[in-house]
Amino acid sequence: MCVLVVNNILFEKVSRVSRTWRQIIHNPTFWKNKLTHDRIDIPRNILLNPELGWRFYASLSRCNHYETNLIQNGCGEEVEVLTIHQAIELENNAEDLDSPWPDYPHWTVLSSGGQGWTLEMLGNDTNLKGLTRNACFSTSYNSCTKEQIVHLCFPSRILDQFQPDIRISDWYTKSPGHGAIYELNVCILDGCGNVLGKHFSFRENIDRTEDDRWRRISHTFSRYGVGARYVKFYHGGMTQDMDMEEGWYGAKMTGSTVQVSYPDTQVTQQLFKCTCRRGHARLRD
């Protein structure tokens, strides 16, 4: 039987073979044992939660994205790092390109003012937690913004009825001797692309006289309502007081995260149903 499950045979069909098969497949203990056998580490309080049924544990046996960062390319892992001279040359030749804005996989660049976005390597003395690459995105003297639509790849029943906490965070700072403006706006979208619950907005004007330490902003969405399917993560910045010095002396940011906690308590029996009465494709990640 374990061979059948490992080979991803549809267990719903398998459960129809006989009453015995149904009892096995629909038994949470079977899936918990399988998780242990496959060495998939699950918190003990989750394994002991009586509100989580067999479908939840079965989903964990196939793919477990809880407590992991769903943002892609949050530290510029998929971006080539340019030298300052290469970046300036690219900016000077922007008019000859079909698209002067940089191509950051998984991100949609909404504005690239001044000399636009660039990616910089961080110093060896930078000790930020959770980075997958020692690099940051840097902005210029006019507005630079980008966003990413994150698909919440979890069972819809869990998202609707349990509404597990969704935690977001971002690291940001300024350049030495320059002020910076940093902004962050994050919201949850339902299956039709509508904003669900309250969005989170943050903006900070960092004066040039303040220190250059890295700051971390975080927020947790809880009890946000039925229908959560995506998170729209928007951030950006520029230099403060229209400092027009050429270069990348605006806000810097890295380590963007979106994490979904393990479900805990069921808060509703409702399930999301589209009422927009129009055809809509899945939003792009």
**pLDDT for res 5:** 39
89-144, pLDDT tens digit by residue? 555 665 554 445 788 999 999 999 999 999 999 987 788 988 999 999 999 999 99
Which residue shows structure tokens 């965070």? Answer: 169
Residue 14: its pLDDT value, please? 54
Q: Which residue has the higher pLDDT, 242 or 92?
A: 242
Look at residue 278 and tell me whether its pLDDT is greater than 90.
no
Q: Are 161 and 142 in contact (CB under 8 A)?
A: no
Percent share of the chain, pLDDT over 90: 68
- pLDDT-above-70 percentage for the chain: 82
The CA distance from 230 to 172, in Å, is 24
Task: Identify the band that residue 206 occupies on the pLDDT scale cut at 50, 70 and 90.
Answer: very high
Q: Which residues pair with residue 135 across a beta bridge?
A: 121
Domain 84-260 in CATH: superfamily?
Answer: Galactose-binding domain-like (2.60.120.260)
Instruction: State which H helix or E strand residue 95 sits in.
Output: none
Domain map (residue ranges) of the chain: 2-62, 84-260
Section 173-196 average pLDDT: 95
> Rounded to whole angstroms, how far apart are CA atoms 262 and 40?
14
Strands ordered across the beta sheet of 108-112 = 108-112, 144-151, 228-239, 180-190, 195-206
Q: Which residues contact 198 (CB under 8 A, 6 or more apart)?
A: 224
Averaged over 251-265, what is the pLDDT?
97
Q: Comparing 194 with 95, which gets the higher pLDDT? A: 194
Q: What does the pLDDT average to over 30-58?
A: 92
What pLDDT does 1 receive?
34
Contact 68, 154 (CB under 8 A): no
- pLDDT tops 90 at residue 223: yes
Residues in the chain, overall count: 285
Residue 63 — pLDDT band, cuts 50, 70, 90? Answer: confident
Instruction: Convert 10-43 to b/e letters by CB count within 10 Å (16 or more is b).
Output: ebeebbeeeeebeebbbebebbbebbeeeeeeee
Q: How confident is the model at residue 16 (pLDDT cuts 50, 70, 90)?
A: low
The C-alpha atoms of residue 187 and residue 202 are separated, in whole angstroms, by 12
**Structure confidence at residue 62 (pLDDT):** 84
Instruction: Identify the pLDDT of residue 89.
Output: 57
Residues 6+ apart with CB under 8 A from 262: 42, 43, 46, 66, 67, 164
**Interval 177-186 mean pLDDT:** 96
Q: Residue 149 carries which side chain, given as an amino acid letter?
A: I
Tell me, what's the pLDDT at 66?
A: 97
Other CB atoms within 10 Å distance of the CB of residue 223: 9
Closest by CA position to 231, among listed 71, 103, 105, 73: 71
DSSP string, 156-200: HHHHHHT---EEEEEEEE--TT--EEEEEEEEEEETTS-EEEEEE
Mean pLDDT for the stretch of residues 218-241? 96
Tens digit of each residue's pLDDT (9 = 90 or more) over 41-50: 999 999 999 9
